[in-house]
Chain A
Amino acid sequence: MVSLTIDHTAVAVPEGTTVLEAARQAGISVPTLCYLKDVQAIGACRVCLVEVEGAKTLVASCVMPVAEGMKVKTNSRRVRESRRTVVELLLSEHDGDCQTCNRSEDCELQALARELGIQEVTYPGEKSKRMLDSSTPALVRDTAKCILCRRCVTVCGQTQGVGGLFPQRRGFKTVIGPAFGVNLADVVCVQCGQCAAVCPVGAISERDQIGEVWAALDDPSKTVVVQTAPAIRAALGECFGYPPGTLVTGKMVSALRRLGFDAVFDTNFTADLTIIEEGTELLTRLKTALVEKKPVALPMFTSCSPGWIKFLEHFYPEMMPNLSTCKSPQQMFGAVAKTYYAQKIGKKPEDLFVVSIMPCTAKKFEAQRAEMNSSGVRDVDVVLTTRELGRMIRQAGIDFRALEDDTMDAPLGLSSGAADIFANTGGVMEAALRTAYELVTGRPLPFANLHVTPVAGLEGIKEASLKIEKPLAAWKFLDGATLNVAVAHGLGNARAVIERIKSGQAAYHFIEVMTCPGGCIGGGGQPRLTTNEVRKARIQAIYKEDEGKQLRKSHANPQIEQIYQEFLGKPLGEKSHHLLHTHYMAREKV
């Protein structure tokens, strides 16, 4: 332990702790801006400056390790005035059009200026140059609002291993953006939106499509249906002041109805459908390999996460055969809604308008992929993120906290707990194993409360092995086989897993990859700011939702059984193949 004094208070912390964390542990709040716990500590923004006795200049507390006997002042006049100058300088270059910024009142810079009591900018001058990048369907960048904190650079490069954003040029002309000043659409950006999720200001945001939804709702010729992804219900409440991890499924359904959607459905339904299709696909691949002894791409990767798909297409196109051909639940939903459901209500696909509420910005990209029109028209019309839905509810004047609970509509509204946990890292794996193991052995998955604990939690790469004993007759070939699975979240971890496979260090059969740290509950479209504490709270909420259900396995969902009977036929059948499966394309690496 290291002993030091912070603002005349004696503090003892483990060696290696930063002054910032030591202060926080002592209950002393030091403002920060570029700092992001567990992600970035680079001392760039100079907001967390403190005075350390004996140091020539002020020091950034986020990177300053504690030392024995150190004397720190976090609130001296020198510190306060310097911090204020630093923030004033940021305000002086920042496009300060707060009233029209979608981050107003959700802006860390604004909050900081208020906290420091800044009422004027002492040194006004030229503003950062505006370069608007709306080249991608998912994200919009505005350099005039960027304060160069580099959080986006770090999540994109380090956490996600993508490296689409860098500091460019020098001095006042420094901008953060893709190399050579090109647009996001021209680089390897996977559109996961993690940059937007960590941006403290309005410099990178999701493309706002609320207007398109209002237009569809106002169009009497359209039947507008909405699907909500599993991760929304554990996070939407945060937009209305609920603590992270508050489940608001019922209120969310009520709000969607109040907004005027003709039917409120659940992406969870197609998550269950995904498990059937993907589980069958995995077993088929295993059978091809083990019984028919034919070459087949293993391990198989899950394909629910569109950022991950695009990542693989850019960086590892040679691994595309390993991707499950299943569409993501969102796209399965669109295809099913515009065919199966449209038929049921006597409409043509083009009369239906499908809106998705997703925790994800990459879903906006996915929805407009050229191949996603198996219903004959665009299967999903508009994707809104959780944040957009929150704003839309506010725009409609709905008092969210006062809403009564409501339930989803049929026939695409019923789902199992297995579908819920699609939101968490490890959840798709667990849901798949719940079904696959039971299909193969006829017995439930041998884990307490059906939770595959080795693949749960925030560890970056998780592994599990499952020995199959005494399978049913049809799966005799699997007797005694050990199924090796892995789970990765955050594309940086996915990259590590792929490298392990390519180098022969690991042999897996099935790998779940989710683009975002923590899975969809930590998606790029979720309410800000998603820290590990927030992730844990949301994950817990999702498991609670799962555990609260009678129906916890996808194959037990009666509506799933119904859709196969009424419409799809059988898993991996012709109709499934047409509506529920897809293909991929290699993309440039730079």
Chain B
Amino acid sequence: MDNVRTHILLCTGGGCIASGALEVGEALRRQIERRGLAGECKVVETGCLGPCVVGPVAAVHPDGVFYQNLRPEDAEEIVDEHLLKGRVVERLVHKAPASGEAVPSLHEIGFFQKQVKVVLRNCGVIDPLKIEEYIARDGYAALAKALTEMTPDQVIEEVKKSGLRGRGGAGFPTGLKWSFTRRAKGERKFILCNGDEGDPGAFMDRSVLEGDPHSVIEGMIIAAYAIGASQGYAYIRAEYPLAVERFGKALEAAREMGLLGKNIMGSGFDFDVEIRMGSGAFVCGEETALMTSIEGNRGEPRPRPPFPANKGLWGMPSCLNNVETFANIAPIITRGAAWYASMGTEKSKGTKVFALAGAVNNTGLVEVPVGMPLGEIIYDIGGGIPNGKRFKAAQMGGPSGGCIPKQHLNVPVDYESLTELGAIMGSGGLVVMDEDSCMVDVARFFLDFVQDESCGKCPPCRVGTKRMLEIVTRICEGKGVEGDIERLIDLGQKIKDTALCGLGQTAPNPVLSTIRYFRHEYEAHIREKRCPAGVCAALVRAPCQNACPAGVDVPGFVSLIGEKRYAEALRLHREKNPFASVCARVCFHTCEDKCRRQSLDDAVSIRSLKRFMAEQEVTVQLPEVRDNEANAKRKIAIVGAGPAGLSCAYFLARLGYRPKVFEAEPRPGGMLVQAIPAYRLPREELAREIRMIERLGVEIETGLRLGRDFTLQSLRVLGYEAVFLGVGAPEGSRLGIPGEDARGVTEALCFLREYNIRGTVPTGKKVVVIGGGNAAIDAARTALRLGAESVTILYRRTRAEMPAYEEEVEEAEHEGVRLKTLTAPVEIVVEGGQVVGVKCRHMVLGQYDQSGRRRPVAGGEGDYVIPADQVIAGIGQKLNPAQVHNGTPLALTESGFIKVNPYTGRTSVDWIFAGGDAVLGPASVVDAIGMGERAAVAIDEQLTGEKHAFWRETQPVDTFFDPDADPAEYPRAAMQLLPVTKRKNNFQEVELTWSEAVARREAKRCLRCDYRVECKED
């Protein structure tokens, strides 16, 4: 053998081959040859290294450097730089996601750090086609040990003690299964290997078969010895030609070495293995169907009992295990059951391989100890969700499995815990879904899959899943009806109870599990004909409009702006949302988050366009109002002149009502006027839109506080037929730490309200703001403008978890606000009744909590004090229920807000409706506007018995669009901002408006997802 100094282990798993690994390998060899390094450097084609998404990948040993995204043209540089000069080619190594720094060492990459490789011990390390390399890594030592030192019963006992459970999905204890088959009477016995991996998104078995076939063969031989089988079959998917080829070659090599065939290792034990190619049916992964298929018949399951252990293949006792199960056997025999059982949880031992797929940065193959929390797999190994999207659910176990939502990210991934949550461990498919996944659509996908793959033998599976699919499909198409969810649950449970085999018995799981955790999404489809994730084509006119809580026709007004038709654009906007000018400044624009243009470059700058549009209004335009004498006489009270109440009033007025608005503070506007600083929302802009609402016949009376000046009952007595409560969540939450009652400690909302209403508020020099929400940021920036010398924000999690809008946080930092994350206040340091500082503790992120975020826990470092003369707490808002109901028993939610029907805003009292922060807790302006609209529609329906919401009908927009033209190629126009130096000590608006040319150009970037052409079927 050559004395090779450097090995390049090039991954030739299916994924890397598809992205060009073989060409890279050739190029590397050519370059090595060219540089005359052939004797000392060698390219080894190995099995899967894991991180398929960055393939082709290679590891250079002994240096332990990991290269990714290789192309043949990179070969020269790697050989010249790395192999010749010993310099790592930095541009080809992994970059740490947070810092962007190069991480050349394989062992320092997060993806590899937390993995424990038992099954994949040789994958990516050896050439799968060289049996010598397998043997060099203790391959077939376990077989030798079993055959020479152990009786079959001892082998079974060892496997039992290891706690290994079947990795095919059901998790039946492997040792027990073996002992059943050993005890069964039969002329011949068979060992069967299930390599018919068929779950969408799963490729664990494939990688093992391709990357380390001998580990499976060795496991099969040991199993055969244990149960007394003389023949084995490996049933491998025909869609895995490379696995079939490599496994076949491995069999030949083993036979040549006397490891298969007659008299194995001279022990007198005979055993051989044949490959059977799968026939392309998912159901053939079911053990009885698999055996029927090996027998040469159509792969259909048969009833159990008789169980395969007694009557399996050709009626003989048979033992079927999954590829991964077999790959675990040799290490258990060589290293012992105790070693294996030291990994995992109490009931689930060892490791498990997962195929990470979907909306996760590091898609690929990973192996972790059983019981690792799901969140760690997704975030620490998987690298989290791409593009800053939010995690929604993990689909585990494929079509037989279920979804785990964010509130269970902390679940240990083991058999029992997952089953409890309605998912299953399955064979290891782990599909991560972000906020852009519609869970009804996900359920439809899996149902469609099982319906296609059902063998058709039993009616519950054949017809039942078809009926479920029909119901789910009609829900996705907006044709769902009340009762559909119950029908799905009822039918799903019947199918589980009556189907013939495991495929049918688990087929309803994806539906049942999505209903369990995402019932509200089903309800939105059925009741509102809305797909919250913006996926279901029939329900989504355009993703931006779909994402808008007020349902504004975004492509409509954007395209009208593009044609200089500003008045029409504004009118269209106000059909759904009266606060165009307000939202142009303070909206959190989910529309932009869902903009499809992001897949090309960046989202259309919808909010800036709205700003430009609103600026073009010279005299206020009034929307369409349908006068109605009967409605005008009806008395409707709206409590709270915030966005929810005013929106409700606006839409009622358009139906001819004359609602009266009662406002506690001296000025209408709610949080818009009390909390949001003028540098974000100039007061005149708000006043203009409130005046417009008043001109529709809405009367606003200020200085009247519910619970003090009037009560709900007194309104009733005065003849109000309906009341809308938009009272907000005006009370700040307390910190709950020592010293918080000291002088100088205030609450963010109080601070902001005082300044905004009175025009002045005491402000310290050294200000510490506690909290990560918008109120905290607003308070910090306001304090800075009011003369604070330093403003520090303390937040206990990381910046990524801050609920405040990202651009607000950025601007705060630009203006000089210091952000200290992972910092929690533990005490307000007080001297003589006055604040002098905040004692802080360094935090680290611990386990995942109910919100799917990591809970901060105290870190190792000691506490320290930040000096402060003012502390502003902005850690949450709440409602004071006593003040609201005052004897009228309104049902509240668990978090203490008013409980309503989300589609109508109706509370537990039928004449009282509610919306906005009083219902949602601190939420966005546009959410409040949407809820006000829904309540207005519901109030009208309650009073008249009919629906009159004419603005809800989609209005045709006649702007020009050429579907054949290429999209505008230029990038998103930047927002204009007031320079930081000009912001000090004043409350001038920070964001500036665009010129007409910029705005019209930006409007043309819209892809016009709303464009539809009727397709007629011939």
Q: In this assembly, does B133 line the interface, its C-beta being within 8 Å of a C-beta of chain A?
A: no
Chain B contacts for A344, CB-based, 8 A: none
The answer to whether B497 touches A57 (Cβ under 8 A) is yes
Chain A contacts for B454, CB-based, 8 A: 170-172, 174
Question: Nearest Cβ in chain A — how far from B295, in angstroms?
Answer: 14
**Interface code A41-62, partner B: CB below 8 Å = 1, 0 otherwise?**
0111110010000000111100
Task: Tell me the complex Cα distance, A484–B317, Å.
Answer: 41
| Cross-chain contact of A60 among B300, B456, B494, B500 (Cβ < 8 A) | B500
The answer to whether B457 touches A44 (Cβ under 8 A) is yes
- Comparing A82-90, A263-271, A280-288, A330-338, the segment that makes contact with chain B is A82-90
The answer to whether A172 touches B451 (Cβ under 8 A) is yes
Chain B contacts with A in 445-503, Cβ cutoff 8 A:
450-460, 462-467, 470-471, 487, 491, 494, 496-500
Q: In this assembly, does A394 line the interface, its C-beta being within 8 Å of a C-beta of chain B?
A: no
Q: In this assembly, does B302 line the interface, its C-beta being within 8 Å of a C-beta of chain A?
A: yes
Q: In this assembly, does A63 line the interface, its C-beta being within 8 Å of a C-beta of chain B?
A: yes
The answer to whether B498 touches A58 (Cβ under 8 A) is yes
Contact (A42, B455) CB under 8 Å given A57-B505, A81-B494, A89-B460: no
Question: Nearest Cβ in chain B — how far from A231, in angstroms?
Answer: 34
Chain B contacts for A89, CB-based, 8 A: 459-460, 463-464, 467
Chain B contacts with A in 740-789, Cβ cutoff 8 A:
none
Chain B contacts for A147, CB-based, 8 A: 459
Chain A contacts with B in 123-158, Cβ cutoff 8 A:
123, 125-126, 147-148, 150
Chain B contacts for A578, CB-based, 8 A: none
Task: Tell me the complex Cα distance, A126–B458, Å.
Answer: 17
Task: Tell me the complex Cα distance, A63–B454, Å.
Answer: 21
Task: Tell me the complex Cα distance, A89–B462, Å.
Answer: 9
Instruction: Please report the total number of B residues contacting A with Cβ < 8 Å.
Output: 36
With both beta carbons as reference points, the residue of chain B lying nearest to A153 in the complex is identified as: B298
Q: In this assembly, does B36 line the interface, its C-beta being within 8 Å of a C-beta of chain A?
A: no
Most buried by A among B460, B497, B505: B497
Q: In this assembly, does A250 line the interface, its C-beta being within 8 Å of a C-beta of chain B?
A: no
Chain B contacts with A in 358-379, Cβ cutoff 8 A:
none
With both beta carbons as reference points, the residue of chain B lying nearest to A33 in the complex is identified as: B459
Chain A contacts for B298, CB-based, 8 A: 166-167
Contact (A167, B305) CB under 8 Å given A82-B494, A174-B462: no
With both beta carbons as reference points, the residue of chain B lying nearest to A84 in the complex is identified as: B494
| Cross-chain contact of A46 among B453, B496, B499 (Cβ < 8 A) | B499
Most buried by A among B281, B452, B458, B491: B458
| Cross-chain contact of B456 among A57, A58, A125, A174 (Cβ < 8 A) | A174
Chain A contacts with B in 21-70, Cβ cutoff 8 A:
42-46, 49, 57-60, 63-65
With both beta carbons as reference points, the residue of chain A lying nearest to B453 in the complex is identified as: A170
Chain B contacts for A322, CB-based, 8 A: none
| Cross-chain contact of A64 among B305, B450, B456, B465 (Cβ < 8 A) | B305
Chain B contacts for A150, CB-based, 8 A: 457
With both beta carbons as reference points, the residue of chain A lying nearest to B302 in the complex is identified as: A42
Q: In this assembly, does B268 line the interface, its C-beta being within 8 Å of a C-beta of chain A?
A: no
Q: In this assembly, does A92 line the interface, its C-beta being within 8 Å of a C-beta of chain B?
A: yes
The answer to whether B498 touches A171 (Cβ under 8 A) is no
Instruction: Please report the total number of A residues contacting B with Cβ < 8 Å.
Output: 37
Q: In this assembly, does B100 line the interface, its C-beta being within 8 Å of a C-beta of chain A?
A: no
Question: Nearest Cβ in chain B — how far from A11, in angstroms?
Answer: 19
Task: Tell me the complex Cα distance, A353–B283, Å.
Answer: 55
**Interface code B416-459, partner A: CB below 8 Å = 1, 0 otherwise?**
00000000000000000000000000000000001111111111
| Cross-chain contact of B496 among A57, A123, A125 (Cβ < 8 A) | A57
Chain B contacts for A85, CB-based, 8 A: 460, 464, 491, 494, 498
The answer to whether B456 touches A170 (Cβ under 8 A) is yes
The answer to whether A65 touches B487 (Cβ under 8 A) is no
**Interface code A246-268, partner B: CB below 8 Å = 1, 0 otherwise?**
00000000000000000000000
With both beta carbons as reference points, the residue of chain A lying nearest to B495 in the complex is identified as: A85
Chain B contacts for A44, CB-based, 8 A: 457-458, 500
The answer to whether B498 touches A86 (Cβ under 8 A) is yes
Chain A contacts for B470, CB-based, 8 A: 125-126
The answer to whether B497 touches A78 (Cβ under 8 A) is yes
The answer to whether A167 touches B464 (Cβ under 8 A) is no
The answer to whether A170 touches B302 (Cβ under 8 A) is no
The answer to whether A86 touches B460 (Cβ under 8 A) is yes
The answer to whether B466 touches A42 (Cβ under 8 A) is no
Q: In this assembly, does B303 line the interface, its C-beta being within 8 Å of a C-beta of chain A?
A: yes
Q: In this assembly, does A169 line the interface, its C-beta being within 8 Å of a C-beta of chain B?
A: yes
Task: Tell me the complex Cα distance, A82–B457, Å.
Answer: 17
Q: In this assembly, does A93 line the interface, its C-beta being within 8 Å of a C-beta of chain B?
A: yes
Chain B contacts for A64, CB-based, 8 A: 303, 305
Interface of B is mostly: helix
With both beta carbons as reference points, the residue of chain A lying nearest to B466 in the complex is identified as: A172
Chain B contacts for A92, CB-based, 8 A: 463, 467
With both beta carbons as reference points, the residue of chain A lying nearest to B455 in the complex is identified as: A170
The answer to whether B462 touches A172 (Cβ under 8 A) is yes
Task: Tell me the complex Cα distance, A92–B457, Å.
Answer: 16
Chain A contacts for B458, CB-based, 8 A: 43-46
| Cross-chain contact of A123 among B281, B283, B303, B491 (Cβ < 8 A) | B491
The answer to whether B459 touches A126 (Cβ under 8 A) is no
Question: Nearest Cβ in chain A — how far from B286, in angstroms?
Answer: 13
Chain B contacts for A173, CB-based, 8 A: 456
Task: Tell me the complex Cα distance, A43–B305, Å.
Answer: 11
Task: Tell me the complex Cα distance, A42–B289, Å.
Answer: 13
Contact (A125, B498) CB under 8 Å given A46-B459, A167-B300: no
Chain B contacts for A123, CB-based, 8 A: 464, 467, 471, 487, 491
Most buried by A among B454, B470, B494: B494
| Cross-chain contact of B459 among A65, A86, A166, A169 (Cβ < 8 A) | A86
With both beta carbons as reference points, the residue of chain B lying nearest to A121 in the complex is identified as: B467
Chain B contacts with A in 282-310, Cβ cutoff 8 A:
283, 298, 300, 302-303, 305-306
**Interface code B491-532, partner A: CB below 8 Å = 1, 0 otherwise?**
100101111100001000000000000000000000000000
With both beta carbons as reference points, the residue of chain A lying nearest to B457 in the complex is identified as: A44
Chain A contacts for B462, CB-based, 8 A: 93, 148, 171-172, 174
Question: Nearest Cβ in chain A — how far from B77, in angstroms?
Answer: 51
Question: Nearest Cβ in chain B — how far from A36, in angstroms?
Answer: 16
The answer to whether A125 touches B466 (Cβ under 8 A) is yes
The answer to whether A171 touches B453 (Cβ under 8 A) is yes
Chain A contacts for B455, CB-based, 8 A: 167, 170, 174
Chain B contacts for A148, CB-based, 8 A: 456-457, 459, 462
Most buried by B among A57, A82, A171: A171
With both beta carbons as reference points, the residue of chain A lying nearest to B454 in the complex is identified as: A171
Most buried by B among A89, A92, A147: A89
Question: Nearest Cβ in chain B — how far from A77, in angstroms?
Answer: 12
Chain B contacts with A in 587-634, Cβ cutoff 8 A:
none
Chain A contacts for B281, CB-based, 8 A: 170
Chain A contacts for B465, CB-based, 8 A: 171
Task: Tell me the complex Cα distance, A172–B306, Å.
Answer: 28
The answer to whether A167 touches B498 (Cβ under 8 A) is no
Contact (A43, B303) CB under 8 Å given A148-B457, A172-B463: yes
With both beta carbons as reference points, the residue of chain A lying nearest to B470 in the complex is identified as: A125
Chain B contacts for A172, CB-based, 8 A: 451, 454, 456, 462-463, 466
Most buried by A among B450, B457, B459, B466: B459
> Given A42-B302, A85-B460, A170-B453, list of 12 further CB < 8 A pairs?
A44-B457, A44-B458, A57-B496, A57-B499, A64-B305, A86-B460, A86-B498, A92-B467, A122-B487, A150-B457, A170-B281, A171-B451
A residues with a Cβ closer than 8 A to B are 42-46, 49, 57-60, 63-65, 78, 81-82, 85-86, 89-90, 92-93, 122-123, 125-126, 147-148, 150, 166-167, 169-174
30 of the cross-chain contacts (CB-CB < 8 Å) are: A42-B457, A43-B458, A45-B458, A45-B459, A46-B458, A46-B498, A46-B500, A57-B497, A58-B498, A60-B500, A63-B303, A85-B460, A85-B498, A86-B498, A89-B459, A89-B460, A93-B459, A93-B466, A123-B471, A123-B487, A126-B470, A147-B459, A167-B455, A170-B283, A170-B456, A171-B453, A171-B454, A172-B466, A174-B454, A174-B455
